[in-house]
Amino acid sequence: MKNSTVLKSLFVFLTILVFATCKEEKKKRVIEFPETDLTAENLIPKPLKMIPTNGGFALDQFTAIYTSEAAGFEEVGSFLAKKIKSKTELDVQVNIDEIPNLETVIYINQSDSLELNAPEAYQLYITQDSVILNSNTAEGAFRGIQTIRQLIPEASSDSLATYPIWTIPTGKIIDSPQFEYRGSMLDVARHFFSVEDVKKYIDLLAYYKYNVLHLHLTDDQGWRIEIKSWPLLTEIGGSTEVGGEGGGFYTQEEYKDIVAYAAERHVLIVPEVDMPGHTNAASVAYPIFNGNGKKPELYEGTQVGKSTFATRKDTLYSFLDDVIGEIAAITPGPYFHIGGDESHVTKKKDYIYFVERVEKLVQKRGKRMIGWDEIGQADIDSSSVSQFWASKKNAMDAIAKGMKIIMSPANKAYLDMEYDTLSKHGLHWAAYIPTDTAYIWTPETYEGIPMESILGIEAPLWSETISDIGELEYLAFPRAIGYSELSWSTPENRNWEEYKIRLANQAPFLDRMNVKYYASPLIDWKKSKYSYKEIEKD
């Protein structure tokens, strides 16, 4: 069935090309393309291999998109058409039977090539008449159209034609990610961020080929996800945040909306309920589960390590079974994050007991447990994942158990660290992380963690010092762009001096998206017609 679908799609594509080629009058023949070099394009993350042919594909009003009939491919084509419309105002039609004066085609094809056996691998073949995007999966095709989006220039090209044309360089791109897990974390517990804010962040991450957004949904300062069987978690626990502002939470319908929005962009949502520490908001709502011996009260500060669940109460695990069950039921992905960090007032033996019991609750729901690197102390299953943020020993203990590691070292990958002493937002307990430091490190060999044990990279953004989307963007960008390349591209394809030129040319996209990024003085930012950014200190 798969081969017949591919053959049918290929037949349609060849028919279109013959139709376009045999027209008596080819408007493209009067177009003089400037010489182009595919390898000089400002693609981030940098593809595995690029082979230029120094010609031009004309994207214009006579271009159409055709896709394979395989599941998800037409949606990828429609997504690309919408993004082309927003950038160029061209109405590029998708899978239309007959288009008058059709000249050029973008074809998104499901391939069964063994060269594309990685789930997100894709190949682009760009000629003067066609852009052929091949991938085995809709997910890979979606990564490929991000490359196409980045290849479309900001302005139309000069030509003899009487209509605007956006010239895309011709050549071949062979690409696939280095790591299967490429994520960012957003802390919505210390400060709450709206559904629309989260969606905007997802859009930006997807453009740079991220495939995971980890939502830190609970902490001492707030509980942000509706649990229908335990309504006080949000009614009381969700009522405040750092600084005493209004707080907030996602209803399950709103959370499902975020999950669906992310899925359309092939981004996986990983929910986190942080425990047994960082649990004050839950304990205020239901004091029976509090384990630190003090009367819990709503907390608006930023100090950590004071709270814990009563880990030896069996009723606690009935409660957590409900919480994990309700969230797991509306989260299609394979992971559930239990936190597990900075539980300083939990006795070590109680902490280990807790992690081992909660792992079973997660597995009961068909999920794979992730926890911060402290969970490596417990006797847990090799299917669980340790997120290395602070302790190399904890990470190595996890590796000895056969577990995979997510690389998030705080002094390299934390997006909430200040750029320098003059940063408007952020902290610096782990390090100052200027734009170059965020890029110039090697996750593949960092702290001796073996490459074969690394599941991927995640850049966490804690929200103690930020309270709106603009402040979020200031800390995340441009560093999140560099982490996308560290996650996707091989070390051989990474070079700071070359990268910072490509980064400078991201300014028009960021400005068009109204991203309030930090304009590092280390970067010679390209001026944009959308806005002007003052260069800041780094």
Q: What is the pTM of this model?
A: 0.95
- Across the range 429-443, mean pLDDT stands at 98
26 versus 353: which is more confidently predicted?
Answer: 353
Q: Could you read off the pLDDT of 63-105 as tens digits, one per residue?
A: 999 999 999 999 999 999 999 999 999 999 999 988 778 999 9
User: What are 472's two structure tokens?
Assistant: 């979020």
For residue 1, what pLDDT band results from cuts at 50, 70 and 90?
A: very low
Supply the pLDDT for residue 18: 46
Supply the pLDDT for residue 23: 44
Q: Could you read off the pLDDT of 463-506 as tens digits, one per residue?
A: 999 999 999 999 999 999 999 999 999 999 999 999 999 999 99
Supply the pLDDT for residue 20: 47
Percentage of the chain exceeding pLDDT 70:
92
Cβ neighbours, 10 Å, residue 341:
21
Supply the pLDDT for residue 116: 85
Write the DSSP string, 4-45: HHHHHHHHHHHHHHHHHHT-SS-GGGG--PPP--GGGS--SS
Q: Considering 120, 241, 272, 342, which one is annotated as catalytic?
A: 342
Supply the pLDDT for residue 535: 61
Is pLDDT at 32 greater than 80 in this prediction? no
Residues 6+ apart with CB under 8 A from 347: none
| Cα angle 62-65-66, degrees, rounded to a multiple of 5 | 130
- Across the range 291-302, mean pLDDT stands at 97
Is pLDDT at 4 greater than 70 in this prediction? no
- What's the length of the chain? 538
Supply the pLDDT for residue 40: 96
Instruction: Give the burial class of 71: count Cβ atoms within 10 A of its Cβ; 0-12 exposed, 13-18 middle, 19 or more buried.
Output: exposed
Q: Can you tell me the distance from the alpha carbon of 530 to that of 98, in angstroms, rounded to the nearest whole number?
A: 36
User: Three-class SS string for 305-337?
Assistant: CCCCECCCCHHHHHHHHHHHHHHHHCCCCCEEE
Is pLDDT at 6 greater than 60 in this prediction? no
Whole-angstrom CA distances from 97 to 60, 239, 488 are 18, 54, 37
What is the identity of the amino acid at 369? M
Supply the pLDDT for residue 419: 98
Q: Can you tell me the distance from the alpha carbon of 122 to that of 137, in angstroms, rounded to the nearest whole number?
A: 9
Is pLDDT at 129 greater than 80 in this prediction? yes
For residue 13, what pLDDT band results from cuts at 50, 70 and 90?
A: low
User: Which of 88-97, 154-163, 280-289 is predicted least confidently?
Assistant: 154-163
Supply the pLDDT for residue 14: 52
Supply the pLDDT for residue 245: 81
Q: Could you read off the pLDDT of 377-395 as tens digits, one per residue?
A: 999 999 999 999 999 999 9
Supply the pLDDT for residue 55: 95
Supply the pLDDT for residue 127: 97
| Cα angle 31-169-95, degrees, rounded to a multiple of 5 | 80
Q: Can you tell me the distance from the alpha carbon of 80 to that of 326, in angstroms, rounded to the nearest whole number?
A: 34
- Could you tell me which residues are beta bridge partners of residue 50? 173
Answer yes or no: are the C-beta atoms of 466 and 472 closer than 8 Å. yes
Answer yes or no: are the C-beta atoms of 47 and 150 closer than 8 Å. no
Pick left, alpha or beta for residue 305 (phi over 0 → left; psi -120 to 50 → alpha; otherwise beta). Answer: left
Q: Could you read off the pLDDT of 102-115 as tens digits, one per residue?
A: 999 999 999 988 78
Supply the pLDDT for residue 453: 98
Supply the pLDDT for residue 27: 47
Average pLDDT score, the chain: 93
Q: Could you read off the pLDDT of 163-185 as tens digits, one per residue?
A: 999 999 999 999 999 999 999 99
Beta strand extents in 378-462 (DSSP E only): 385-388, 404-407, 454-461
Supply the pLDDT for residue 31: 58
200 versus 97: which is more confidently predicted?
Answer: 200
Whether 342 is catalytic: yes
- Could you tell me which residues are beta bridge partners of residue 57? 168
- Across the range 280-307, mean pLDDT stands at 97
Q: At what angle do helices 469-476 and 195-207 cross, to 10 degrees?
A: 20
- Across the range 284-302, mean pLDDT stands at 97
